[in-house]
Structure 1
Amino acid sequence: MGESRDLLTPEQRSRNMSKIRGKNTKPELLVRKLLHAKGYRYRLHGQAGGGKLPGRPDLVFAGRRKVIFVNGCFWHFHDCKAGRHAPAHNAEFWDTKRTRTRERDAVQRSQLGAAGWQVLTVWECELRDHTALEDRLTSFLDDGPGA
């Protein structure tokens, strides 16, 4: 089999990749809108009590000691179809990058847990079923310590 070729030049690919946001993504905005409509209030991007939390969680519920990450399936190596997709072009680079992201996520979750925070990760693929997503979010926020 021949090597898969990128249809874009390295400069075009770099420009495209640089436009991918890490904050205020569509999935994150959808989760924020859903939670705000349900009456939940939160801080954004790791802000809690004047300091930054490990991993800079997307949503911080300081009074509940709970945080939510909204992760893209591809970027964070989720087990779903999108997360399992392995680019053919520059495969070693992408495998290394995504594996490093997964490992970093695990360390940050561990740091948050050690500091007394409960962590929920919402995957991009879960956004398709709004009812199930809403149930999962409210169950996480309303159950346990700090609820």
Structure 2
Amino acid sequence: MEQDRAAGGRHRRSVDLGDGRYARASIALKLYRRTRRIRAYLRWSCNGATRERYVCEVDHPTRGENLAEAWRQARLMGLVTDPPPPEGSTASSDAVRAVMRANRAKDTGPELALRRLLHASGLRYRVDARPVPEVRRKADLVFPGVRLAVFVDGCFWHGCPEHYRPATRNAEFWREKIEGNRNRDRETNDILRAAGWNVIRVWEHEAPEMAAELVSREVRARRSGSGPSPPFATGDGR
């Protein structure tokens, strides 16, 4: 796990052995006591034998920072690569495939973090529910009493303007897929607003504390009778 975090994911620790074979590498840090210098080496296994390649010297204050620097240099040197996705996969790379697999439909990490904070503040809500029963659209959090629907949108599937990067493989397929999701988001906003609901959308990369404060403020404003805010959606204004 330490190596995965430093490299940016397990899929980014691959050494190309040729003939379609890949080995998972690790970074070893060696302290040379005489010089007090730390050198980083890339290690992997090939045909039962351990191979090693010098990467660079590192001098950050923590082991995690040194590992991350060594992985960055190894990638710049072309020592590691992302293996291609399995045959038949629509992902443009193994990195994209990893993101796709990590993006669950519900109970994602950002959703759970937001729910914990809201619950700790005393708010109660419905999870993964339809704000309007007869409309087949679910929100991640629903506050029926104040008619507030909250969505936590994944950066990949919903086309985050800050983090989404267009695919290079099957580019047209993914462009249409993501744009379709964004259009559906806008349509959902319009449907709920027309039914008298307010909508809050937050990106998964946004701090859960800020999202929780936004939701809490809106719920309490509506409960206090000070009047609901004009219908809105956070994020990119969808």
TM range (shorter): 0.7 to 0.9
Separation of aligned partners in 2, 1:95 and 1:88: 10
Q: CA RMSD in A?
A: 2.8
Matched, 1:46 2:129: yes
d(CA) in 2 for partners of 1:33, 1:52: 29
What runs of 5+ residues in structure 1 fail to find an aligned partner? none
Aligned equivalent of 1:32, options 115, 122, 127: 115
Pair 1:48–1:107, CA change in 2 (3 A): closer
Which residue of 128, 138, 144 maps to 2:216?
138
Which of these two proteins has the greater Rg computed from alpha carbons?
A: 2
Deviation at 1:69, TM superposition (A): 0.4
Q: Distance in 1 between matches of 2:214 and 2:175?
A: 30
Question: 2:153 — aligned with what?
Answer: 71
Kindly indicate which of the two structures has a greater share of residues assigned to strand. 2
Q: CA deviation at 1:38?
A: 0.6
Matches within 5 A, 1:54-65: 54-65=136-147
Q: TM-score, normalised by structure 1?
A: 0.79
- List gaps (5 residues or longer) in structure 2: 1-81, 92-96, 230-238
| Larger helix proportion of the pair | 1
Q: Which residue does 1:9 correspond to in 2?
A: 86
Tell me the percent identity: 36
Distance 1:21 1:12 in 2: 17
> Is 1:120 matched with 2:200?
yes
2:105 is matched with 22
Q: How many residue pairs are counted as aligned between the two chains?
A: 138
Q: Conserved in 2, the CA contact under 8 Å of 1:46 and 1:54?
A: no
1:53-80, CA deviations, whole angstroms, 9 ceiling, x for partnerless residues?
Answer: 5520000000011010010112111221
Instruction: Look up the equivalent residue of 1:45 and give its one-letter code.
Output: D
The aligned residue for residue 95 of structure 1 is: 175
Task: Say whether the 8 Å CA contact 2:218–2:228 is kept in structure 1.
Answer: no
User: Closer, same or farther in 2 for the Cα pair 1:126/1:75, shift >3 Å?
Assistant: same
